[in-house]
Amino acid sequence: MKQHYFDYAHRLAKYSPLIYQWTQDENLGLFDFDDCMYAPDRMNLIDNNLQWQADNSNRLLIIEQHPFFETDEKYTETKKEILEIADKYSLKIYFLTADYRYWDTLKTNECFYPHWYFELRAHALAYDYKNFNWLENKKYNFSCNNMSNYRSEKIYNYIECFRRKRSDWLLSIYDHPHEQISTVDVHDIGKIKQDQIDIWDNEIKHTIKMYEYDLYNQTEPRSAMNTLFPGHVDAHCNLVMENSMEIEILSEKSFKSFLARQIPVYLAHAGACTMLRKLGFDLFYDFVDHEKYDNIGLGTDRFPEYWINRIDQVHVLIDNLYTTNFTDFINNPTTKTRLQKNHDYFYSNTIDKMCIEQFNQLLNK
250/157 Cα distance (integer angstroms): 19
* Mean pLDDT of successive 10-residue stretches along the chain, which has 365 residues: 73 97 96 90 90 93 86 88 95 94 82 97 96 92 79 84 92 63 65 82 74 72 86 95 86 96 94 97 96 80 72 95 95 96 98 97 88
pLDDT of residue 174: 66
Query: N- to C-terminal Cα distance for the chain?
Result: 30
pLDDT of residue 178: 46
Q: Is the same domain home to 92 and 218?
A: no
pLDDT of residue 175: 60
Taking CA atoms, 48 is separated from 44, 99, 186, 254, in Å, by 6, 28, 46, 36
Instruction: Answer whether residue 4 is part of any domain.
Output: no
110/188 Cα distance (integer angstroms): 36
How many alpha carbons lie under 13 Å from residue 79 in its C-beta half-sphere? 18
Q: Is the same domain home to 91 and 212?
A: no
Q: Is the same domain home to 141 and 230?
A: yes
Question: Residue 53: is it exposed, middle or buried by C-beta count within 10 angstroms (0-12/13-18/19+)?
Answer: buried
Instruction: Answer whether residue 3 is part of any domain.
Output: no
238/314 Cα distance (integer angstroms): 12
162/319 Cα distance (integer angstroms): 13
198/204 Cα distance (integer angstroms): 9
Q: Is the same domain home to 357 and 343?
A: no
Pair 90, 58: CB distance under 8 Å: yes
User: Residue 213 sits in a domain of what CATH number?
Assistant: 3.40.50
Taking CA atoms, 318 is separated from 110, 185, 264, 313, in Å, by 37, 27, 12, 9
Q: Is the same domain home to 257 and 217?
A: yes
Q: Is the same domain home to 145 and 292?
A: yes
* Predicted structure pTM score: 0.92
Pair 342, 282: CB distance under 8 Å: yes
Q: Is the same domain home to 221 and 317?
A: yes
Phi-psi region at 271: left, alpha or beta (left = phi > 0; alpha = psi -120 to 50): left
Q: Is the same domain home to 164 and 226?
A: yes
350/280 Cα distance (integer angstroms): 9
Give the structural domain span for 33.
Answer: 9-120+351-363
Instruction: Answer whether residue 184 is part of any domain.
Output: yes
Q: Is the same domain home to 243 and 300?
A: yes
Instruction: Answer whether residue 336 is part of any domain.
Output: yes
Q: Is the same domain home to 92 and 179?
A: no
Q: Is the same domain home to 248 and 334?
A: yes
Q: Is the same domain home to 141 and 206?
A: yes
Total domains in the fold of the chain: 2
Collect all residues with Cβ–Cβ distance below 8 Å to 222 and sequence separation of at least 6: 212, 215
Pair 70, 76: CB distance under 8 Å: yes
